[in-house]
Amino acid sequence: MVAVLRSIARWNRVVLALGLGWAALAPGLASAQDSAIVLGVRSFEGDDEFAHNLTGALRHEASQVPDWALSDREVTFAQMALVHGCDDPQPSCLGSIAESLSVQRVIFGDVRRTSAGSDYDFSVNLHHFNAESGRIEHSVADQLASVQTDIDNLREPARRWIASLSGAPPVGALSVQVNVPGAEVLVDGEAVGVVDAEGTLRLSEIEAGRRAVRVTAPGYAAFTATVTIEAYGEATLEGELTEGGGGGGGGGGVPVEVFAGVGLLIVAAGAAGGWIYSGITVLDRNNSQDWAEVRAEYSDTISNLCDSPGTAREREICDEVATLEILQFVFAGVTAVAGGVGLGLLIVGLTAGDDAEESAFQLVPSIGLDHAYLGARVRF
């Protein structure tokens, strides 16, 4: 009996210790989330129903923020401003409101009509005040059509606004329209979905900024483009995939521009070698012993030694030097043209390949009464 009582006592001490440990740990767990409240949105023109529905949508979305422990108190910014005697939301006033409500973060704002007539929209201004830092950390300014007063219509914009107020990166929507149903869409190299039977895919969670979009489908040449997505806006991208391409794979082979570019760079290297060789040979001939003797003999009577009849050897040297000087200009021109076009083609091939919307390299003939030439056009 004594042993049983001792065992019970030991278990009681264990349970008591666990309870005390949990009690000590619980405040730390609760503090992992910041307390927050969404004050009722203030309306200046009496649009109370719209302000009420907007507040409800904002509170619902704020409750989904992982780092926030949202207060369920339903008070409005107008009420709190009246109580604290501060109609203008200065940091000191907002700090007093946060302290009286025992929260760290205060979401507040107002709505106004954009015009005094019957044809107006709503201008929405929302702010996030952090009592710990004592300042407004994030703000949102946007407009909504006056017909969007129902709470169901407000859920999507409220989600965007709360995401911005919580510090999440600003996002926008992207609508992709192509001519091939089932085509795959990639944004910045990451697959994000496929277009539907109408050839359309709408994406609502694309980070704002410049984004590289690529659309691929088996049997079609891929379509690529760059689109700018505004924060909380929507961008539309329309493209056409042409038949005959390698489709959605990333290994469609080496673009033809790369081969052409490398070939022209080899030609440019050969021409540069010929240019250097001809230049060295001309200098060698001009500084040869044979030519030095000719200069010594005729320097007082002839300004240009190659104008003199001279011997067969002298004429041979003059003819060789004249030919090499002409070749120098030819080699220099070939080096510049082939090197420039080859480098351009290589850059285009490595950056665009066969997925470009149109050919990156084009030969453009031009024929007229007084001219005929073949021009090269390179698109970067």
Q: What is the 3-state secondary structure (H, E, C) of the chain?
A: CHHHHHHHHHHHHHHHHHHHHHHHHHHHHHCCCEEEEECECEECCCCHHHHHHHHHHHHHHHCCCCCEEECCCCCEHHHHHHHCCCCCCCHHHHHHHHHHHCCCEEEEEEEEECCCCCCCEEEEEEEEEECCCCEEEEEEEEEEECCCCCHHHHHHHHHHHHHHHCCCCCEEEEEEECCCCCCEEEECCEEEEECCCCCEEEEEEEECEEEEEEEECCCEECEEEEEEECCCCEEEEECCCEECCCCCCCCCCCCHHHHHHHHHHHHHHHHHHHHHHHHHHHHHHHCCHHHHHHHHHHCCCCCCHHHCCCCHHHHHHHHHHHHHHHHHHHHHHHHHHHHHHHHHHHHHHHHCHHHCCCCCEEEEEEECCCCEEEEEEECC
pLDDT, tens digit, for every residue of 214-261?
999 999 998 899 999 987 778 999 999 988 755 554 444 556 677 787
The pLDDT of residue 237: 93
Low-confidence ranges of the chain (pLDDT < 70): 1-32, 245-256, 290-291, 293-311, 313-314, 349, 351-380
The pLDDT of residue 106: 95
The pLDDT of residue 270: 87
The full set of domains in the chain, from first to last, is 33-168 (3.40.50.10610), 172-243 (2.60.40.10), 256-378 (no CATH)
The pLDDT of residue 5: 42
The pLDDT of residue 325: 79
The pLDDT of residue 32: 62
The pLDDT of residue 376: 54
The pLDDT of residue 22: 43
The pLDDT of residue 26: 45
The pLDDT of residue 37: 95
The pLDDT of residue 279: 80
The pLDDT of residue 360: 47
Look up the pTM and report it.
0.49
